[in-house]
């Protein structure tokens, strides 16, 4: 499968697949899709308080690209806050830094460097997919 463009490195996957609004009644939320590189930019800059130069290195992108990803991410989060919309983490031109997997039975995330077909360390299920597969569903 050809790459459309250079992928951005994600060090740690989100622990959840999205967030839902609280206190809204009688209306279906029109969710905001936050791509995983946008999630990662917010994690590195606003949660870990890295500089944009440091975050660009972590994500393997240029500083201007990082700034563009970050501004789009902030705009989406602000839109979700102000308009009361759910946020779904999905898609993106990304790869994971390590061999991350997701258990389809218990939803545990884990990494495994030694096995190409690992079983879940939590429930021993072999119903395991890569995180790239999980987030592209």
Q: What does the binding site for Zn ion look like in residue numbers (CB under 5 A)?
A: 103, 105-106, 108, 120, 122-123, 125
Query: Among residues 36 and 103, whose Cβ is nearest to Zn ion?
Result: 103
Which region, left, alpha or beta, applies to residue 11 given φ > 0 means left and ψ of -120 to 50 means alpha? alpha
Under 8 Å CB-to-CB from 133, ≥6 apart: which residues?
Answer: 102
Q: How far is the CB of 106 from Zn ion (least distance, A)?
A: 3
Residue nearer to Zn ion on the CB measure, 18 or 118 = 118
Contacts of 79 (CB under 8 A, 6+ apart): 32, 85
User: Tokens 């700034």 correspond to what residue?
Assistant: 67
**Minimum CB–partner distance for residue 14 and Zn ion (Å):** 18
Which CB, 49 or 116, lies closer to Zn ion? 116
HEC secondary structure over 70-93: HHHHHHHHHHHHHHCCCEEECCCC
For the CB of residue 131, give the shortest distance to Zn ion in the complex, in Å: 14
Q: Which is nearer to Zn ion, 36 or 120 (CB)?
A: 120
Smallest separation (angstroms) from Zn ion to the CB of 112: 13
User: What burial class does residue 72 get, using C-beta atoms within 10 Å of its C-beta: 0-12 exposed, 13-18 middle, 19+ buried?
Assistant: middle
């Amino acid at each position: 499968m050809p790459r459309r463009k250079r992928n951005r490195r994600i060090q740690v996957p989100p622990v959840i697949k999205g967030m839902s609004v609280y206190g809204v009644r009688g209306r279906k939320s029109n969710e905001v899709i936050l791509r995983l590189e946008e999630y990662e930019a917010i994690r590195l800059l606003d949660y870990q308080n890295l500089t944009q130069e440091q975050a660009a290195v972590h994500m393997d992108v240029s500083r201007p690209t990082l700034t563009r990803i970050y501004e789009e991410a902030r705009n989406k989060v602000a839109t979700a806050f102000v308009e009361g919309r759910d946020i779904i983490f999905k898609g993106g031109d990304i790869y994971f830094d390590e061999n991350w997997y997701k258990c389809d039975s218990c939803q545990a995330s884990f990494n495994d460097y030694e096995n190409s077909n690992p079983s879940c360390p939590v429930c021993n299920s072999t119903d395991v997919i890569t995180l790239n597969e999980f987030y592209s569903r």
